[in-house]
Structure 1
Amino acid sequence: MFRPKVPTMPQPTGLVTPPAVVEPTAVIQHTPAAPEPMAPAPARLTVQLTPGAVVALVGGGTAVVLVVGAVLVSMLLAVAITGASVAICALVIRSLINSEANRR
């Protein structure tokens, strides 16, 4: 009653294909007549900055820093204003609740 029944492996039905026969093949090795000459290694490219390019890079970097700083400061200011307004709303609601309690 409590013994599990182990399923048996189902036998294939229908046409059964015979196993394929693998025939060995001959291996032919090719040796090159002469080794190919190595291509010379390319010279490393150096980046030369002109004074105008340096000024442009410094100006672009400064602009990016200023824009990112302005965005972060505005986000911080938005959070501070939201927090202050929530605090003021909480004080007004508390004041209204206390004044209602005193009237009764």
Structure 2
Amino acid sequence: MDKLLQILGEAGIPFAYDHFAEGESPDPPFICYLLPGTNHFGADGRVYYKINEVHIELYTDSKDLEIEHQLEAVLDKHGIFYDRSEVWIDSEKLYEVLYSFEIEA
């Protein structure tokens, strides 16, 4: 978890786990990150290598390639292989760019 927090800090974008408290959300861009699951390696009935699934949700109010490249540069610097997808959230009037990857727990 420390490595993930270091990576997020280096990106220079405000972030919170899952969501910001009501009334405390910063103006976009901002990040919400989640640890929705695991993909542990095990044998002999025990976990030998712990792996967390990570979702980094980057929110912007307009398409912002510069901020996306800023975040991707930090992920690349740390050798993280990620998948990326994007969606417009009409009810929030925000773009969400989702970065999914796995990291050692």
Q: TM-score, normalised to structure 1's length? A: 0.16
TM-score (norm. length: structure 2): 0.16
Structure ID, larger Rg: 1
